[in-house]
């Protein structure tokens, strides 16, 4: 078992890659009661075109299959719903789907191993029939309609629509009522057998465990399944430019919602981490809680609360999003662009930079306090080709010169969009 130690957060990561290709990551937390496990597959809503290992021809499935699969996995052949079985054991279980992965998880203070029995059983034994697939279409259809009524979700999706021509990141993770109508049990089994192979999965466990003992317990519960080789994922070639600068939609909102987007391009290797840190620092300098711009907009009654600042990236896409609520979204957008111009012209204030970098570093350290935060972070980062410890190691390397380089290369006016939801 490989051991990676980080002295700054005083944590050890134990990694084992099994013969079947499954990667197991264990972060022991001595003396902590909470135990958290998450089992993910590198399969998300972006993966609707692929070549199955051993095949030559391309497979295309309807949008929304990854999310549909996640919903169906809890239903077992014996009529038991595994979510109910886990709840009866006193554990909190859940699952979710993102653009690039699907994950199943539970947390508990007691009954970890009885829950592990159920957990590892249902993830390895799908049960799909014509009847239960049809029934699920109605349930997911209602979920799609519910999300269509969420202004917060629509302002986000519309911002992606304004940035991306073809990349599937712009599509709703759930699919549409039309696309899910084409899903059947054969499609679900094909996607399950392709993507839920151990070689395409990672399990992360955090809590008070002896790593070697836990590893043996996990191995006991694994069914005999061989690695199936590399899945070739097919994504369109996305243009660098944006689709349109502004997108507006009318919905029932008390005040307009806005999202300012900046289209970027994907990085490779450790550069992903370094760039992510630089963008986080820059966003805080530009419009974070202590920035001059936020104080000005707040004092003028243009912004009432701190906007959320995000950088999202994956295979073939990357973008910045600044999301908030304001009576005057166009004014926020205009001032944000002016602030970027001024920062490029005047340069970065060393004291402000150091203060924000320290704050962000403190945030990274705090993420290692909770077993759930740790496990989810290691899983999500793993699928992006990142070890979560890299953020702790790379932050001191990010300096003002690198920040200015990212500011000039990424924060370009021609790559910016504004998405608004108004009354």
Cα→Cα distances 286→306, 323, 407, Å: 12, 14, 11
Give dist(CA 226, CA 103) in Å, integer. Answer: 21
Q: Is the predicted pLDDT of residue 183 greater than 90, yes or no? A: yes
Q: Note the residue count of the chain.
A: 423
Q: Is the predicted pLDDT of residue 13 greater than 90, yes or no? A: yes
pLDDT in tens, 403-422: 999 999 999 999 999 999 99
What are the residues whose beta carbons fall under 8 Å from the beta carbon of 275, sequence distance 6 or more? Answer: 267, 406, 410
Q: Is the predicted pLDDT of residue 268 greater than 90, yes or no? A: no
Q: How confident is the prediction for the chain on average, in pLDDT? A: 96
Give dist(CA 411, CA 341) in Å, integer. Answer: 9
Catalytic residues: 70
Going by pLDDT thresholds of 50, 70 and 90, the confidence category of residue 269 is confident
> 84, 61, 147, 405: which is closest to 267 by C-alpha?
405
pLDDT in tens, 14-72: 999 999 999 999 999 999 999 999 999 999 999 999 999 999 999 999 999 999 999 99
Instruction: Spell 322-359 as b/e; 16+ CB within 10 A means b.
Output: bbbbbebbeebbebbeebbeebeeeebeeebbeebbee
pLDDT value at residue 162: 98
Going by pLDDT thresholds of 50, 70 and 90, the confidence category of residue 241 is very high
Q: Is the predicted pLDDT of residue 79 greater than 90, yes or no? A: no
Average pLDDT score over residue span 177-201: 97
Secondary-structure class of domain 246-422 per CATH:
alpha beta
- 171: tokens are 């599509």
pLDDT in tens, 298-338: 999 999 899 999 999 999 999 999 999 999 999 999 999 99
| Domains 2-233 and 246-422 in one fold | yes
Going by pLDDT thresholds of 50, 70 and 90, the confidence category of residue 396 is very high
Give dist(CA 69, CA 266) in Å, integer. Answer: 28
Going by pLDDT thresholds of 50, 70 and 90, the confidence category of residue 270 is confident
Cβ atoms of 238 and 299 within 8 Å: the answer is no
Query: Where are the domains positioned within the chain?
Result: 2-233, 246-422
Q: The domain 2-233: what is its CATH number?
A: 3.30.830.10
């Amino acid at each position: 078992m490989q051991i990676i130690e980080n002295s700054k957060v005083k944590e050890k990561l134990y990694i084992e890659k099994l013969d079947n290709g499954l990667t197991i990551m264990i972060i022991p937390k001595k003396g902590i009661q909470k135990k958290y496990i998450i089992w993910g597959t590198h399969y998300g809503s972006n993966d609707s075109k692929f070549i199955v290992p051993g095949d030559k021809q391309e497979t295309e499935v309807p949008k929304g299959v990854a999310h549909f699969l996640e919903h169906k996995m809890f239903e077992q052949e014996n009529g038991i719903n595994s979510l109910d079985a886990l709840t009866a054991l006193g554990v909190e279980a859940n699952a979710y789907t993102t653009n690039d992965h699907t994950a199943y998880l539970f947390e508990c203070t007691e009954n970890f191993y009885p829950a592990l029995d159920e957990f590892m059983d249902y993830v390895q034994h799908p049960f799909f029939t014509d009847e239960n697939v049809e029934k699920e279409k109605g349930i997911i259809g209602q979920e799609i309609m519910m999300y269509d009524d969420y202004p917060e979700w629509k302002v986000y999706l519309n911002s992606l629509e304004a940035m991306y021509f073809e990349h599937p990141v712009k599509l709703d993770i759930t699919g549409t009522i039309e696309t899910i109508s084409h899903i059947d049990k054969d499609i679900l089994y094909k996607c399950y057998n392709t993507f839920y192979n151990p070689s395409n999965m990672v399990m992360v466990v955090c809590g008070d465990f002896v790593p070697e003992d836990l590893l043996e317990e996990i191995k006991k519960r694994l069914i005999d399944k061989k690695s199936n080789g590399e899945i070739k994922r097919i994504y369109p070639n996305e243009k660098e430019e944006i689709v349109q600068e502004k997108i507006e939609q009318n919905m029932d909102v008390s005040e307009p919602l806005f999202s300012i987007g900046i289209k970027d391009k994907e990085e490779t290797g450790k550069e992903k981490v370094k760039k992510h840190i630089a963008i986080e620092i820059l966003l805080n300098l530009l419009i974070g809680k202590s920035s001059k711009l936020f104080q000005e907009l707040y004092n003028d009654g243009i912004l009432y609360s701190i906007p959320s600042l995000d950088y999202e990236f994956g295979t073939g896409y990357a973008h910045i999003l600044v999301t908030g609520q304001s009576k005057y979204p166009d004014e926020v957008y205009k001032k944000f662009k002016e602030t970027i111009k001024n920062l490029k012209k005047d340069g970065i204030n060393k004291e402000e930079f150091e203060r924000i970098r320290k704050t962000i570093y403190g945030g990274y350290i705090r993420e290692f306090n909770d077993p759930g935060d740790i496990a989810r972070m290691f899983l999500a980062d793993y699928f992006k080709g990142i070890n979560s410890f890299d953020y702790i190691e790379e932050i001191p390397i990010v300096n003002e010169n690198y920040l200015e380089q990212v500011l000039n290369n990424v924060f370009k006016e021609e790559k910016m969009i504004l998405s608004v939801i108004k009354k």
